Chain A
Amino acid sequence: MHRGPGAPLPLPSAADSLVASGPLPRTRRPRSRSERALIRGALAGSEADLEALFRAHWPRAYRAAFLIVHDHAAAEDIAQEAFVQAIRRLDRFDRRRRFAPWLGAIVANRAIDWLRARTARRESGQEPPETAAAADPPRGTYSEEVLTALAELGPEHRAVVVMRYVLEYTPGEIAQALDLPRGTVNSRLRRGLDALESRLEKAEPA
Chain B
Amino acid sequence: MNAQRALRSFRAPEEAATQERTWTVVRDAYRMREPIRRRRPRGRLLLVPAVAIVLAAVTLSPAGATVGRWIRHALGVPHAAPALFRLPAPGSVLVSGAGGTWTIAADGSSRRLGPWREASWSPHGLFVAVTRSDHVAAVDPHGTLHWALARPAARDPSWYVPTGYRVAYLSGRTLRVVAGDGTGDGLLATGVASVAPAWQPGSAYRLAYVTRSGVLVVRGADSKRIIWTAPLSGQARELTWSADGGRLLAVTDTRASLYDPSGRKVATVAALPGTPIRAASLSPDGTALALIRGSSNQDVVVLRFGSATPRARRVLSGAGLRQLAWSPDGHWLLVGWPAADQWVFVRVTGMPRIAAVSRIARQFSAHASAKDGFPRIEGWCCTTSGTAG
> Closest chain A residue to B4 by CB distance?
A165
Cβ of B213 and Cβ of A84 under 8 Å apart? Answer: no
Cβ of B211 and Cβ of A9 under 8 Å apart? Answer: no
Given contacts A17-B305, A200-B6, contact A63 B15 (CB under 8 A): yes
Best-buried of A15, A83, A137 by chain B (most CB within 10 Å): A15
> Closest chain B residue to A72 by CB distance?
B13
Best-buried of A18, A73, A80, A139 by chain B (most CB within 10 Å): A18
B229 contacts the other chain (Cβ, under 8 Å)? yes
Cβ of B10 and Cβ of A133 under 8 Å apart? Answer: no
Encode contact with A along B10-25: 1 for CB under 8 Å, 0 otherwise.
Answer: 1111110011111111
Cβ of A9 and Cβ of B261 under 8 Å apart? Answer: yes
Chain A residues with CB below 8 A from B74, complex form? none
15 A-B interface contacts by CB (under 8 A): A15-B242, A16-B246, A47-B27, A51-B23, A62-B18, A72-B13, A73-B230, A91-B36, A128-B214, A136-B14, A138-B11, A138-B13, A146-B7, A146-B10, A165-B3
Chain B residues with CB below 8 A from A129, complex form? 211, 215, 217, 226, 229
Complex Cα gap A73–B27 (Å): 20
B89 contacts the other chain (Cβ, under 8 Å)? no
Cβ of A137 and Cβ of B13 under 8 Å apart? Answer: yes
Complex Cα gap A77–B27 (Å): 15
Cβ of A85 and Cβ of B287 under 8 Å apart? Answer: no
Cβ of A59 and Cβ of B15 under 8 Å apart? Answer: yes
Encode contact with A along B210-227: 1 for CB under 8 Å, 0 otherwise.
Answer: 011111010000000111
Cβ of B13 and Cβ of A50 under 8 Å apart? Answer: no
Complex Cα gap A108–B15 (Å): 18
Expressed in whole angstroms, the minimum distance between the Cβ of A186 and any Cβ of chain B is 15
Other A-B contacts than A18-B266, A20-B305, A22-B20, 10 sampled, CB-CB below 8 A, are A6-B227, A18-B246, A47-B27, A58-B19, A62-B22, A67-B10, A128-B215, A128-B231, A142-B6, A146-B7
Interface residues of B in 1-47 (CB under 8 A from A): 1-15, 18-27, 29-31, 33, 35-36
Complex Cα gap A206–B263 (Å): 42
B379 contacts the other chain (Cβ, under 8 Å)? no
B308 contacts the other chain (Cβ, under 8 Å)? yes
> Closest chain A residue to B34 by CB distance?
A88
Given contacts A19-B266, A146-B10, contact A196 B3 (CB under 8 A): yes
Cβ of A80 and Cβ of B309 under 8 Å apart? Answer: no
> Closest chain A residue to B20 by CB distance?
A23
Q: Which A positions have Cβ atoms within 8 angstroms of B?
A: 1-4, 6, 8-9, 11-12, 14-25, 42-43, 45, 47, 50-51, 54-55, 58-59, 62-63, 66-67, 71-77, 79-81, 83-85, 87-88, 91, 121, 126-131, 133, 135-143, 145-146, 149, 161-162, 165-166, 193, 196-197, 200-201, 203-204
Chain A residues with CB below 8 A from B22, complex form? 54, 58, 62, 76, 79-80, 83
Contact of A203 among B1, B4, B262 (CB under 8 A): B1
Q: Which B positions have Cβ atoms within 8 angstroms of A?
A: 1-15, 18-27, 29-31, 33, 35-36, 191, 203, 211-215, 217, 225-231, 233, 242-247, 254, 258, 260-268, 270, 272-273, 285-287, 305-310
> Closest chain B residue to A13 by CB distance?
B244
Chain A residues with CB below 8 A from B286, complex form? 14-15, 17-18
Cβ of B214 and Cβ of A66 under 8 Å apart? Answer: no
Cβ of A22 and Cβ of B21 under 8 Å apart? Answer: yes
Chain A residues with CB below 8 A from B307, complex form? 20
Contact of A9 among B23, B31, B203, B231 (CB under 8 A): B203
Complex Cα gap A85–B307 (Å): 26
Main SS at interface, chain A: helix
Chain B residues with CB below 8 A from A204, complex form? 1
> Closest chain B residue to A150 by CB distance?
B7
Cβ of A4 and Cβ of B225 under 8 Å apart? Answer: yes
Given contacts A17-B287, A24-B27, A81-B270, contact A126 B228 (CB under 8 A): no
Chain A residues with CB below 8 A from B260, complex form? 8, 11, 15
Best-buried of B1, B8, B215, B265 by chain A (most CB within 10 Å): B1
Chain B residues with CB below 8 A from A84, complex form? 25-26, 29, 270, 272-273
Chain A residues with CB below 8 A from B3, complex form? 146, 149, 165, 193, 196-197, 200
Complex Cα gap A108–B226 (Å): 32
Complex A-B, nearest 4 residue pairs according to Cβ-Cβ distance, in ascending order: A15-B246, A196-B3, A8-B262, A128-B215
> Closest chain A residue to B31 by CB distance?
A47
Chain A residues with CB below 8 A from B36, complex form? 43, 91
Complex Cα gap A150–B101 (Å): 56
Cβ of B27 and Cβ of A9 under 8 Å apart? Answer: no
Contact of A4 among B29, B226, B231, B305 (CB under 8 A): B226
Cβ of A141 and Cβ of B266 under 8 Å apart? Answer: no
Complex Cα gap A203–B2 (Å): 12
Complex Cα gap A145–B157 (Å): 49
> Closest chain A residue to B309 by CB distance?
A24
Cβ of B211 and Cβ of A50 under 8 Å apart? Answer: no
Chain A residues with CB below 8 A from B5, complex form? 141
Cβ of A143 and Cβ of B11 under 8 Å apart? Answer: yes
Expressed in whole angstroms, the minimum distance between the Cβ of B253 and any Cβ of chain A is 13
Chain B residues with CB below 8 A from A45, complex form? 35
Given contacts A12-B244, A15-B242, A62-B19, contact A88 B6 (CB under 8 A): no
Given contacts A9-B245, A131-B231, contact A80 B7 (CB under 8 A): no
